[in-house]
Amino acid sequence: MNGSDTDKKLIEAVKGGSQTAFEQLYKRYKTNLFVVCLRYAKDRSTAEDYLQDTFVKVYKNIEQFDPEKGLFEFWARRIAINVCLEDIRSKKLYTLSISRAEHMEFNESDALSQMSTRELLDMIKTMPVGYRTVFNLYVIDGFSHKEIAERMGIAVGTSKSQLLKARKYLQGLITEQVKVLNQNHG
């Protein structure tokens, strides 16, 4: 039985009211969804709140999920993103900030690929919320600028400019880290 089949059975059981099956679903996906929440949240505590709301929404809307139309993880991930965006929008957290490193160039992709996921996440979390949200939505979660503009209530041009600044911000961070590493090795 592969993971998808297991998901289907668990989801059917959850639809039938099984709390145990829902707990199994939680255990299977809590890590991946928590990472999604960590990417959007300003801190761990907020991410846990996002995760909690995500799973409650998953339970409430499980009847609407059709395993034939897609994977549960993608569906749940969308819910997690929506939960994060709702909070960010409701608290006006996406007030766009200026970048502190617009001038930096990125040419250290090798260094980036050698970094751990946690290090990447830590870099994301240092970004201003506007950069972070647009970067997450566009680069990692695959939304278009039009979709981002609609979801965040901003102009498409603003989304594009925020993404550009986010990229430069991250590239600057990575460049700085590479320099530090080179100095240490040198």
Alpha-carbon gap, residue 177 to 166, rounded angstroms: 17
Looking at 4, 71, 99, 106, which residue binds another protein (CB under 8 A)? Answer: 106
CA atoms within 13 A on the CB side of 155: 3
Looking at 6, 18, 82, 177, which residue binds another protein (CB under 8 A)? Answer: 18
Nearest distance in Å: CB 54, another protein: 9
Alpha-carbon gap, residue 98 to 47, rounded angstroms: 24
Looking at 1, 4, 5, 22, which residue binds another protein (CB under 8 A)? Answer: 22
Which residue lies nearer to another protein by CB, 61 or 182?
Answer: 61
Nearest distance in Å: CB 186, another protein: 25
| 35 touching another protein, by CB under 8 A | yes
Taking CB under 8 A as the binding criterion, the range among 36-44, 81-89, 144-152, 175-183 that sits at the site for another protein is 36-44
Which residue lies nearer to another protein by CB, 69 or 92?
Answer: 69
Looking at 39, 132, 151, 165, which residue binds another protein (CB under 8 A)? Answer: 39
AA letter at 78: R
Residue 18 Ramachandran class (φ > 0 left, ψ -120 to 50 alpha, else beta) = beta
| 23 touching another protein, by CB under 8 A | yes
Cα 145 → chain centroid: 16
Q: How large is the greatest C-alpha to C-alpha distance in the chain, in angstroms? A: 62
Give the list of residues 6+ apart from residue 185 with CB closer than 8 angstroms, or none: none
* Cβ atoms within 10 Å, residue 106: 15
**Interacting residue ranges for another protein, rule: CB under 8 A:** 9, 12-13, 15-24, 26, 30-32, 34-36, 38-39, 47-48, 51-53, 55-56, 59-60, 106, 109, 112-113, 117-118, 120, 139-142, 167, 171
